[in-house]
Amino acid sequence: MISFSVSETKTALTKFCNNIPPYLTGPDRINYILENIETLRSEERVALKNLVNRFLTSMIERDSSDIEIGGHGNLGHIWLRTFGRKERIREFPQYSEDESATLIVNLLNSNQRKMLAEKRNLDFSYTFFYERRKVNVRFRADAYFDLDSLALNMRAINTEIRPLESLEFHPNVARAMSHTYIKFGLSLVTGITGSGKSTTLDAIIDAHNKVDPAHIVIIASPVEYVHESKVAIVRHREVGRDVLTFKEGVIQSLRQDPDIIVIGEMRDPDTIMAALEVTDTGHKVFSTLHTSSAVESLDRIIAEVNPSEQERVRNRLADVLISVVSQKLVPSLDGKRVLAKEVLLVTPSVKAAIKNNNTSEIYMMINQGGQQGMITMEQDLKRLYLQKKISLENAIAFANNKTRMQQILTSV
């Protein structure tokens, strides 16, 4: 096969983009690329994909978590996030919006190109062979539009799973999340984007996979880490590829003899209702939410559904919820990041507060529930500060309740 240098690949890319009719603007230019990408010769398409793989190789070797390609906001540069900081990489060539869009579109198959054209957004997974380590590396990718130009974020998926023990959960919390200890119930892992939710969820799955002879069904968009069946049998169903929606994946899973169902994200009312119903049938369910505290997670679930359904959902949630872990990745003093977490266990008092619509009382229950394994975000940030893992400034900056944070720090 012909090997293309970076400069030769850039020439082929520029040549293709120069063929885009000048009268086409905005989304029409993207549509042209989507419809005509296959006019490139096969060796040119391979060369373009290899160019992206070079960017990804550099990303891995810098220990970066994310890469940004294309879009108006990139100003032609490739950007990386390394230990939490986003920066343009000036040693990479610059690419026009058309050239970047072509690099992105070239990564997609025909069905994915149709979905991107229709929905203006596409979540997908991408794998390439990392030559230096002789391993396949997976990425979670999101293609989207930025001022009528096409942009791409790709996040590296850990090739190794952190042991659940390394997350330092209290024994009561670890037992609550264990299928061998409690056979049913809903456990949530919550946090903003980039807070390590997927890493925690994979650690939980892996812990079950090692010791629990169960059937685990993972429904995700996209599938990130691929678990090899060990003691458990693990199924992976990617939304948009193996199943159409999260809701359908959850409903279909009931006919697949599952013990544990992992829902990548409870992102809409239909998925929330399906998750509560499948938990109510006696299954162990794990899922995630984009919320920054345990109490906010409860309020978000209830607020997402129709007001006429909220009391029923509140009661059902109180009956099936087992635990909530809300987490953040905080810059550490060694220049990396460390996990801070808030943990709620659903005790009879918490259950009553949810049913009576008194979720505002739950924060103090977490605050006073240390012996049971509960901890507030502020208490955990204080712990990390006292262990000299994070700075005082970051302890305050990452607190959900800054007033409360300053109060407990004054007692140090």
> What is the strand order of the sheet 135-146 is part of?
85-88, 79-82, 64-70, 149-156, 135-146, 121-130
| pLDDT for res 126 | 92
Nearby residues of 306 by Cβ (< 8 Å), 6 or more positions away? 269
Q: Which CATH class is domain 164-410?
A: alpha beta
How far apart CA 293 and CA 362 sit, in angstroms, is: 11
Banded model confidence at residue 1, pLDDT cuts 50, 70, 90: very low
Q: Which CATH class is domain 6-156?
A: alpha beta
Is pTM beyond 0.85? Reply is: no
Please give the mean pLDDT across all residues of the chain: 93
pLDDT tens figures, 91-149? 888 999 999 999 999 999 998 999 899 999 998 889 988 888 888 888 999 999 999 99
pLDDT tens figures, 194-212? 899 999 999 999 999 999 9
Count of beta carbons in the 10 Å neighbourhood of residue 311: 12
How far apart CA 9 and CA 55 sit, in angstroms, is: 13
pLDDT tens figures, 216-251? 999 998 888 899 999 999 999 988 788 888 999 999
Residue spans per domain, the chain:
6-156, 164-410
Residue 402 per-residue DSSP state: H
> Radius of gyration over alpha carbons of the chain, in Å?
23
Q: At what angle do helices 377-386 and 402-410 cross, to 10 degrees?
A: 40
pLDDT tens figures, 250-306? 999 999 999 999 999 998 999 999 999 999 999 999 999 999 999 999 999 999 999
- Strand-pairing partners, residue 139, are 126, 156
